[in-house]
Chain A
Amino acid sequence: MNKTMMRVVGVILVIATFLLISECAKKEKPILGSGDAASAVYVAPGDYDEFYAFTSGGFSGQLGVYGLPSGRLFKEIPVFSVDPENGYGFNEETKDMLKTSFGHIPWDDSHHPELSQTDGVTDGRWIFINGNNTPRVARIDLKNFETAEIIEIPNSGGNHGSPFITQNSEYVVASTRFSVPIPQADVPIDTYKENFHGTLTFIKVNPDDGHMNIEFQILVPGYDYDLASGGKGPSHGWSFFTSYNTEQANTLLEVNASKNDKDFIAAVNWKLAEKYLAEGKGKTRPGEHYVNRMNHKTHSADSKLNKTVTVLDPAECPGLIYYLPTPKSPHGVDVDPSGEYIVGGGKLAAVVSVHSFSKMLKAIEDEKFIGDAGGIPVLDYDATIAGEVTNVGLGPLHTEFDGKGYAYTSAFITSEVVKWKLGTWEVVDRIPTYYSLGHLMIPGGGSMKPWGKYLVGLNKMTKDRYLSTGPELAHAAQLIDISGEKMKLLLDFPTVGEPHYAQGIPADLVHPNTTKIYELEENEHPYRALSEKEARVERDGNIVHVYMTTIRTHFKPDNIEGIKVGDVVYFHITNLEQDWDIPHGFAVQGARNSELLVMPGATNTLRWEPNKVGVFPFYCTDFCSALHQEMQGYVRVSPKGSKVPLSFN
């Protein structure tokens, strides 16, 4: 071999070695979600998931229902937004669910689902969710996965810190993210400091039927109240609310509300509030708000307007509320399962501050106040703080707990979950998320009994995680195994809307109790037709009521004549089926609202105002049987003033 050859061989060897090394380096790069992760999230066909996960829809206004660990989407429950897919908010029965003192609001921004609890444990009866934009709280019944009730929150702007619950579901709370004039008034915006206030609202939940009523509101200084958490165990009887903008800026809050080193967590002694109420300290104040409840017998919403609310003024109720200074524009506040630690996520800080409930009580007793804010005593930070978690990432927002002594905090800016130990405050593990993690959720992780097996990270940005869908992308959720010492990423799945917070619950607490059908004999809808014999068409002036039935596989009647342009036709569709998973749909040409999807045993009504002469088909939209395509009918529309008599078959 001559020298040139040797050089060539040498160069080839060097290149080959380099390629080999770089190939190895590539292989060493951790492949996320690899290894046994696939089998850990695999739920075999026909098998059930271990947990339900409920994710808020954010700007979709709805509530998503997923299975964990598979990440499969089961349902999107319409809550604050109309849903033409099944007629929610469009049909005559449910449109009043969206009634507010502003009128019919077809949309909202739903952020935080919260499961009902008994003795601090999620019980699977109801799930509550807030409407942020036009302040409301909804209750969804987990028997039928339908919105059962929506209550409007008066004297509020931006119901963000809501609907966090107390340990026996005594109350769900609501707090104003945007302070506003209370009562509303026509004032210059720059009179914010003198004219704007916030309210903390306590909505009483009837333990038997879940009915919500505003028990009282507390008038508080005009800050932005952000999130909340119910006390538990020793701190049961207290609720905690974060605030920012204690600067009380009314413009460019990005800068002007980020000046103070510390803002406040408001600690509210609601048991004392009950005492003050009993003593008559509550004042009746204007507070127009609707309460809309589904009546499960009439399958219709009953809507009630309340004109007033009872308001407590902290100035007249000493001991009702204390401020705990917390760095820096704190976002989430989360009470640990023991009820002792109150964890504040310093959104603009790199630290999580943990207050001690027992130290707080001691500080109150010892009057360790550093002053007051709007008449509310401000406690000394050093007197209440139990510890600070440093190195927790940038932008710590929310914390959930695993019930095994660890806390998990989401860091928005550094896109990671940080695991730390309660008591020692040391960070023990961290795992990246993709990207910009907001809330995180452990089933039961905000209650006294977390099921500390999985954690779901709810991210604000997706970017390159999935196949692109153009400028608007799905949000991403990441399922993380937290059963071991080290967190392990298992699954990454897209979500509908923008999930802010989520809730999780073992499937066993919900799945066996679900409704399969509505009993026909319990149907008390005023326009029901419980058999084909009762199917008919009646005219009253220009109002036409069609009492129509559906059963596999026909409508009764399916030929209607004598309808005229200018009539208002109500199709009252009773689904006579009593079999699980046999809804029938109803759609008629030219309906300017939606279709109906009628569950077995229920009656739903579509209002139809025909504006053209002709013969128009209607048909079933839900593939119900082998003869679904035959499930159709016609309605003949004659000109206004026509003599065609009303008839049907």
Chain B
Amino acid sequence: MNKKSRWILAAGALLLIGTYIFPLWSITVEAPQYPEGLGIYIRINTVDGHAKNDLKNLNLVNHYIGMQEIVPESIPELKFMPPIVGFLIVSGLLVAWKGGKKSLYAWLAFFSLLAVAGLIDFYLWNYDFGHNLDTENAAIQIEGMTYQPPLFGTKTMLNFITTSLPTWGGISAFASIFMGYLAAFLSWRDKQVQ
């Protein structure tokens, strides 16, 4: 790895610190009776509301259609994620320091796998929340209706308009992985030039 690549990689690894500070993803719902919107943040280690009581109120609204309650403590991924990302930061810095190309590729492969797995996992959770409804007790049941929030973008479900987008934590993770690839690319191009 050339010097430039190593710096870019180090910066990319450090960017991941952002995932501890900022939420990864945001899901917002708006409805006529919620003009101010209700929203939740998916953070690296928990799920919480945009405003103090938003998660509680979203769960309350969801219970009419039989959606499961979102209980952050019961989501195991939220326990694994902080150490895994911590490992990514430390190992990324280590790779940048040592400068080994193979270890860079290994790091990138691991990160990429993790990112894809994370998105799939997030999708599956959304799928489960949207489909696995309590048909025994739900007061409002509409034939054929499911409530899976989108991964990216906006979707209208009953009276709610749901918007799901990455926020600064998620964006910093994307930026981090992009910088990893950039480091690999620059280092590879450098070699071609030589």
Q: Decide: B139 and A626 in contact? CB cutoff 8 A.
A: yes
The reply on B53 being an interface residue by CB < 8 A is: yes
B60 within 8 A of partner (CB): yes
Inter-chain contacts of B57 with A (CB < 8 A) = 578-579
- In the complex, A552 Cα to B140 Cα: how many Å? 14
A-B residue pairs in contact (CB < 8 Å), sample of 20:
A517-B53, A551-B60, A552-B60, A552-B63, A577-B60, A578-B52, A578-B53, A578-B56, A578-B57, A579-B53, A579-B56, A579-B57, A579-B60, A625-B64, A626-B64, A626-B139, A626-B140, A627-B64, A627-B139, A630-B139
Interface members, chain B 30-66 (any A CB < 8 Å): 52-53, 56-57, 60, 63-64
Q: How far is the CB of B194 from chain A (nearest CB, A)?
A: 64
Interface string of A548-571 (1 = CB under 8 A from B): 000110000000000000000000
Q: Scan residues 296-330 of chain A and give those whose CB is less than 8 A from a CB of chain B.
A: none
Q: Which 8 residue pairs across A and B have the least CB separation, nearest first?
A: A578-B53, A579-B57, A552-B60, A627-B139, A578-B56, A626-B64, A579-B53, A626-B140
Smallest CB–CB gap between B51 and chain A, Å? Answer: 10
User: Closest approach, in angstroms, between the C-beta of B29 and any C-beta of chain A?
Assistant: 13
Name the residue among A517, A625, A630 with the largest chain B CB count within 10 angstroms. Answer: A625
Contacts of A625 in B (CB 8 A): 64
How far is A627 from B137 in the complex, measured between Cα atoms in Å? 13
Measured CB to CB, the nearest residue on chain A to B56 is: A578
- What separation, in Å, do the CA atoms of A578 and B60 have in the docked complex? 10
Per-residue contact bits, chain A 610-639, to B (CB 8 Å; 1 contact, 0 not): 000000000000000111001000000000
A153 smallest CB distance to B (angstroms): 41
Q: What is the CB-to-nearest-CB distance from B25 to chain A, in angstroms, rounded to a whole number? A: 23
Give A573-619 interface residues, CB cut-off 8 Å to B: 577-579
Enumerate A207-238 residues with CB–CB distance to B below 8 Å: none
With a CB–CB cut-off of 8 A, which chain A residues contact B52? 578
Q: Which residues of chain B come closer than 8 Å to A579, judged between CB atoms?
A: 53, 56-57, 60
- Chain B, residue nearest A581 (CB): B33
Q: Which residues of the partner chain A approach B64 to less than 8 Å between Cβ atoms?
A: 625-627
Alpha-carbon separation in the docked complex, A416 to B63 (Å):
59
B139 neighbours in A (Cβ, 8 Å):
626-627, 630
User: Smallest CB-CB separation from A519: which chain B residue?
Assistant: B52
Map CB proximity to B onto A507-526 as digits: 1 under 8 Å, 0 otherwise: 00000000001000000000
With an 8 Å Cβ cutoff, the count of chain B residues facing the other chain is 9
- Hey, which chain B residues are within 8 Å of A517, CB to CB? 53
Interface of B: prevailing SS: helix
Q: How near does chain B come to A512, taking the closest CB pair, in angstroms?
A: 14
Known: A577-B60, A626-B140, A630-B139. 4 other contacts (CB 8 A): A578-B53, A578-B56, A578-B57, A625-B64
Q: How far is the CB of B111 from chain A (nearest CB, A)?
A: 39
Query: Within the complex, what minimum Cβ distance (angstroms) separates B187 from chain A?
Result: 53
* Binary contact readout B59-103 vs A (1 if CB under 8 angstroms, 0 otherwise): 010011000000000000000000000000000000000000000
Distance between Cα atoms of A422 and B57 in the complex (Å): 57
Contact with B along A171-209 (1 / 0, CB 8 A): 000000000000000000000000000000000000000
CA gap between A625 and B64 in the complex, in Å: 10
The chain A residue with its CB closest to the CB of B38 is A579
- The residue in A517, A577, A578, A626 that gathers the most chain B C-beta atoms within 10 A of its C-beta is A578
A517 → chain B closest CB, angstroms: 8
Q: How far is the CA of A443 from the CA of B39 in the complex (A)?
A: 39
- The docked-state distance in angstroms from the alpha carbon of A416 to that of B97 is 87
Residues in chain A near residue B60, CB distance under 8 A: 551-552, 577, 579
Report the Cα distance A578→B57, complex, angstroms: 7
Chain B residues contacting A630 (CB-CB under 8 Å) are 139
What residues of A have a CB within 8 angstroms of the CB of B53 in the complex? 517, 578-579
Most buried by B among A579, A626, A630: A579
Q: How far is the CA of A625 from the CA of B63 in the complex (A)?
A: 12
Measured CB to CB, the closest approach of chain B to A384, in angstroms, equals: 56
- Chain A nearest Cβ from B31, distance in angstroms: 12
* Residues of B contacting A578 in the complex (Cβ-Cβ under 8 angstroms): 52-53, 56-57
Which residue of chain A is the closest to B57 with respect to CB atoms?
A579
Closest to B33 in A: A581
- Give the distance in Å from the alpha carbon of A579 to the alpha carbon of B33 in the complex: 11
Closest residue to B139 on the A side, CB-wise? A627
Query: Which residues of chain A are within 8 angstroms of B140 by Cβ–Cβ distance?
Result: 626
A626 to B53 CA separation, bound complex (whole angstroms): 20
Interface residues of A in 490-544 (CB under 8 A from B): 517
- Smallest CB separation, A555 vs chain B (Å): 15
A interface footprint on B132-143 (CB within 8 Å = 1, 0 otherwise): 000000011000
B78 to chain A, nearest CB (A): 23
Which residue of B is nearest A517, CB measured? Answer: B53
B6 to chain A, nearest CB (A): 50
Across the interface, name the chain A residue whose C-beta is closest to B35.
Answer: A46
Q: Which residues of A contact B63 (CB under 8 A)?
A: 552
Say how far B66's CB is from chain A's closest CB, in angstroms: 13
Residues of A within 8 Å of B56, CB to CB, are: 578-579
Which residues of chain B have C-beta atoms less than 8 A from A627's C-beta? 64, 139
Tell me how far the C-beta of A552 lies from the nearest C-beta in chain B, rounded to whole angstroms: 5
Which B residues lie within 8 Å of A551 (CB)? 60
Q: In the complex the two chains form, what is the Cα distance from A578 to B59 in whole Å?
A: 12
**Complex Cα–Cα for A358 and B140 (A):** 74
Shortest Cβ distance from residue B104 to the other chain A in the assembled complex, whole angstroms: 49
List the B side residues contacting A552 at CB < 8 Å. 60, 63
**How far apart sit A552 and B58, CA to CA, in the bound complex (Å)?**
12
Q: Which of A267-302 contact B (CB under 8 A)?
A: none
- Chain B nearest Cβ from A514, distance in angstroms: 14
Q: How far is A577 from B56 in the complex, measured between Cα atoms in Å?
A: 9
In the complex formed, the residue of B with least CB distance to A551 is B60
Q: How far is the CA of A79 from the CA of B57 in the complex (A)?
A: 32
- B91 to chain A: closest CB distance in Å? 41
Q: Please, how many angstroms separate the alpha-carbon atoms of A427 and B56 in the complex?
A: 62
The answer for the CA separation of A113 and B52 in the assembled complex, in Å, is 35
In the complex, how many angstroms separate the beta carbon of B142 from the nearest chain A beta carbon? Answer: 13
A622 to B52, CA, bound (A): 24
Chain A: CB-nearest residue to B60? A552
Chain B: minimal CB distance from A200 (Å): 47
Q: State how many angstroms separate the Cβ of B64 from the closest Cβ of chain A.
A: 6
Smallest beta-carbon distance B75→chain A, Å: 22
Q: Please report the C-alpha to C-alpha distance between residue A625 and residue B33 in the assembled complex, in whole angstroms.
A: 11
What's the minimum C-beta distance from B141 to chain A, rounded to whole angstroms? 12
CA distance A627 to B66 in the complex (A): 14
A630 to B139 alpha-carbon distance, docked (Å): 10
Contact with B along A256-275 (1 / 0, CB 8 A): 00000000000000000000
Q: How long is the Cα–Cα vector from A579 to B140 in the complex, in angstroms?
A: 21
The distance in angstroms between the C-alpha atoms of A524 and B160, with both chains bound, is: 36
Could you tell me the distance in whole angstroms from the C-beta of A440 to the nearest C-beta in chain B? Answer: 37
Chain B proximity of A25: nearest CB distance (Å): 51
**Distance A577 CA – B60 CA, assembled complex (angstroms):** 9
Residue of B nearest to A576 (CB): B56
Give Cα A551 to B53, complex, Å. Answer: 14
Residue of chain B at shortest CB distance from A578: B53
A118 to B52, CA, bound (A): 32
Separation in Å of the B101 CB from the closest CB of chain A? 54
A552: nearest residue on chain B (CB-CB)?
B60
Query: How far does the alpha carbon of A579 sit from the alpha carbon of B56 in the complex, in Å?
Result: 9
Q: How far is the CB of A579 from chain B (nearest CB, A)?
A: 5
By beta carbon, the residue of chain B nearest A46 is: B35
Chain B residues with Cβ below 8 Å from A626 are: 64, 139-140
